[in-house]
Chain A
Amino acid sequence: MEIQREFSWPQRGTPQWRLLNDFQREFPLSVTPFFDLGRELHLPEAQIISQLKEWSEQGVVTRLGAVFRPQALGPSTLAAVRVSPAQVEKVAGFINSFEEVNHNYEREGELNLWFVVTAPSEARLQEILLAIGERAGNPVVDCRLVYEYRIDLGFDLSGPAGESVTFVEGVAQGPAELSAVERALCERLEPGLPLNSRPFDRWADELGITAEEVSVILQGLLTRGVIRRMGVIVRHRPLGYQANAMVVWQCPLARTRELGRALARQPFVTLCYERQTSPEWPYNLYCMIHGRSRSEVLLQVESLVSEFNLTGLSQRVLFSTRAFKQRGSRYLATRPPSAEMPASAASAPQATTSPDSKAVDTVLIQELQKGLAVIDRPFFDLATRLGMTEEAVCQRLTELRAEGLLTRFGPMYNIEKLGGTFSLLAMEVPRDRWEEVVDLVNRFPEVAHNYEREHRLNMWMVVAALPASQLAEVLNKIEQATGLKPYSMPKLKEFYLNLQLEVSGD
């Protein structure tokens, strides 16, 4: 992995080398990060700042900023559509006209246009895919990310045989739950940190919080994995690696994980994913391979096929023939805050002036579902955006709660992380005892939710116990109180929330 040839890299071990290499990840998140970096590297703060500016201008450093987890800031997908050769340029132009599209390639094969869409909401994403399908005259194939294999690293200047490479894999996760302030910060972070001695001050002012609060919030986003790493982002696409192919296989379920792991570890494989299949596109395992030439890439594919015994698998090698669009996702920064609101709310002109309008309610419910930050005035940002006072926002929330549109507002505790546990309980309640049993069961404070469902097992409740050891006792009490058998169905595995397996690379 070499970089721009005309650029001479700082010598290994010098403070400049350390600045580029060590701080791709361990960047200090204080309110004066460059001063702290300077202290660590024994360089004056001003020199750190001017050095980073110089590298940015030379294109060696893309930005000083964050690498976000895919989809953390909004739903995103790789999609493909078949377009007749005569129409390719027109349809590509149409696809590029969406601000939400950040990559768009023509590839060989019958599905010939491949693009990446990152949208503020799932509804918007679907709308775009539909519009593109209509324009192309063929349905768009949505190849949603399912599972990801990757190197847990920035870019190691000491070369591809970096000392300790860790591979990480995990189920693709959906958008992160972000409070309004967190979202506003992510938005500002996308183009990178301003290179001055107190880079958080302006953002803090704009959001009505302190610079210290900015650094605490960013630290929290790192801890939660919304931001994968924060620091110096070095451009590492080697010059001269012109040929790029997406190789896809139709791999049986039972072999997929093992194969994905192995492929991700090949030095010339830059990305390895599992993606959603569909009847028109049955391939589930994807690798990106970059090489100096088409023949080099083809040789690499051949070596994969023989080394991992892939001859039996249906395979496609899709070289890109033209890049119609290629840029980082900027879907937050390029959009006014109202773009996330549903069309009805965003287009309602009275939204900012009439606090009791339906549009405001929609925005309040929508935004406040995402969560608030732990800062002194958590409603400040939202109130400002709505042109309301914080008091008016609180007043409206109180009314919404009274009307039953909101059930409550506050911390949503995850009892499992507090040492407790949950189980789902199902019971068959005789019709003639229904009211009585509902009453008996709902009296238990441990019963968090209770639903009537259409089945012989007609009552389904979520029971919580803290500490976890008390679950059996609660079940017992419910059985005794009702005389009915509760079938307990604790979750054995959860597929939606954080599930990241650390796999060591040695």
Chain B
Amino acid sequence: MTDPTEVFLDDLDLRLIEATQQGLPLVAKPYHAVAEQLGLPVEEVKVRLQRWLDSGAVRRIAAVPNHYRLGYRANGMTVWDVPDELAEELGTRVGALPFVSHCYLRPRHSGVWPYNLFAMVHAKTRDEALAQVEEIRQVLAGHVRSSDVLFSRKILKKTGFRLVREG
């Protein structure tokens, strides 16, 4: 709890997150509408959102499309077991590939899950996605001990995180 990077959220921050996490009102002046709903001056709402945007606490204020509905049905989580001492170097290279949307190192679980490098690919067809998997394999150039691709079969939930406050 003493993480120096942790942002202290005051009560107004929490109320603002709560009011906007499901989305902004779709009107010409959405920040005015939020301000009105919270009984705040609009400048207060704008200043806080801008500060979060600048610090990265809000990635962006944007539309979140449903990739499935837009035709990107082949969503593959590619997972790779690569040597730990090369994992960062390899991850950097995989993350730089233009079609990789996310790339992470994650822990293995012995006996259940041998993979430490995760890279997400999105494509309209499974063949297209598999071609991308091959490109990743080429970048990993002989350092792969084992790998797998987990295609998603169904979205069961996609709401984004929700702030839960007691009381």
Q: A370-B60, A407-B66 are in contact. Are A452 and B50 (CB under 8 A)?
A: no
Q: Are B57 and A417 in contact (CB under 8 A)?
A: yes
Q: What does the 1/0 interface line of B125-164 toward A look like (CB < 8 Å)?
A: 0000000000000110000000010111111111111111
Q: How far is the CB of A396 from chain B (nearest CB, A)?
A: 9
- Contact of A498 with B by CB under 8 A: yes
Q: Are A394 and B27 in contact (CB under 8 A)?
A: yes
Q: State in angstroms the CA–CA spacing of A469 and B2 once bound together.
A: 11
Residues of B within 8 A of A397 (CB): 26, 63
Specify which of A372, A374, A424 is in contact with B106 (CB 8 Å cutoff): A424
Q: Are B152 and A457 in contact (CB under 8 A)?
A: no
Q: Which residues, 86 to 129 on B, are CB-close (under 8 Å) to A?
A: 86-107, 109, 112-113, 118
Q: Are B27 and A374 in contact (CB under 8 A)?
A: no
Specify which of B50, B57, B66, B89 is in contact with A253 (CB 8 Å cutoff): B89
Specify which of A377, A407, A413, A467 is in contact with B1 (CB 8 Å cutoff): A467
Q: How many residues of B contact A (CB 8 A)?
A: 88
Q: State in angstroms the CA–CA spacing of A216 and B91 once bound together.
A: 35
Q: How far is the CB of B156 from chain A (nearest CB, A)?
A: 4
A372 nearest CB neighbor, chain B only? B61
Q: State in angstroms the CA–CA spacing of A144 and B67 once bound together.
A: 26
B163 nearest CB neighbor, chain A only? A466
Q: Are A493 and B26 in contact (CB under 8 A)?
A: no
Q: A224-B56, A414-B58 are in contact. Are A461 and B157 (CB under 8 A)?
A: yes
Q: State in angstroms the CA–CA spacing of A408 and B54 once bound together.
A: 22
Q: How far is the CB of B13 from chain A (nearest CB, A)?
A: 8
- Contact of A285 with B by CB under 8 A: no
Q: Are B52 and A407 in contact (CB under 8 A)?
A: no
- Contact of B46 with A by CB under 8 A: yes
- Contact of A85 with B by CB under 8 A: no
Q: What does the 1/0 interface line of A277-321 toward B look like (CB < 8 Å)?
A: 001000000000000000000000000000000000000000000
Q: How far is the CB of B58 from chain A (nearest CB, A)?
A: 4
Residues of A within 8 A of B24 (CB): 409-411
Residues of A within 8 A of B91 (CB): 493, 495
B6 nearest CB neighbor, chain A only? A419
Q: Are B151 and A454 in contact (CB under 8 A)?
A: yes
Q: State in angstroms the CA–CA spacing of A375 and B86 once bound together.
A: 45
A487 nearest CB neighbor, chain B only? B109
- Contact of A404 with B by CB under 8 A: yes
Q: A224-B54, A256-B89 are in contact. Are A412 and B64 (CB under 8 A)?
A: yes
Q: Are B106 and A453 in contact (CB under 8 A)?
A: no
Q: How far is the CB of A113 from chain B (nearest CB, A)?
A: 22
A398 nearest CB neighbor, chain B only? B26
Q: Which of the segments A9-17, A19-27, A347-355, A440-448 contacts the partner chain?
A: A440-448
B157 nearest CB neighbor, chain A only? A450
Residues of B within 8 A of A466 (CB): 161, 163
Q: Are B58 and A411 in contact (CB under 8 A)?
A: yes
Q: State in angstroms the CA–CA spacing of A498 and B1 once bound together.
A: 24
Q: Are B161 and A405 in contact (CB under 8 A)?
A: no
Q: Are A412 and B26 in contact (CB under 8 A)?
A: no
- Contact of A36 with B by CB under 8 A: no
Specify which of B75, B94, B105, B154 is in contact with A491 (CB 8 Å cutoff): B105
Show 30 residue pairs from A and B whose CB-CB distance is below 8 angstroms, ordered by the A residue.
A146-B96, A171-B96, A224-B53, A253-B90, A254-B89, A369-B63, A370-B60, A371-B60, A371-B62, A374-B46, A374-B53, A376-B32, A377-B29, A378-B61, A404-B66, A404-B69, A405-B69, A409-B63, A410-B22, A411-B60, A414-B56, A417-B57, A448-B157, A451-B156, A453-B150, A489-B106, A496-B100, A496-B102, A496-B103, A498-B56
Across chains A and B, which 7 residue pairs bring their CB atoms closest together, nearest first? A495-B95, A371-B60, A464-B161, A368-B63, A417-B57, A450-B157, A410-B23
Task: Point out residues on B near A: beta carbons under 8 Å.
Answer: 1, 3, 5-9, 17, 20-24, 26-32, 42, 46, 49-50, 52-66, 69-70, 75, 77, 85-107, 109, 112-113, 118, 138-139, 148, 150-164
11 additional contacts, CB 8 Å, given A224-B53, A364-B63, A448-B160?
Answer: A144-B96, A145-B96, A146-B92, A378-B61, A394-B27, A397-B63, A406-B65, A410-B23, A418-B9, A495-B96, A498-B56
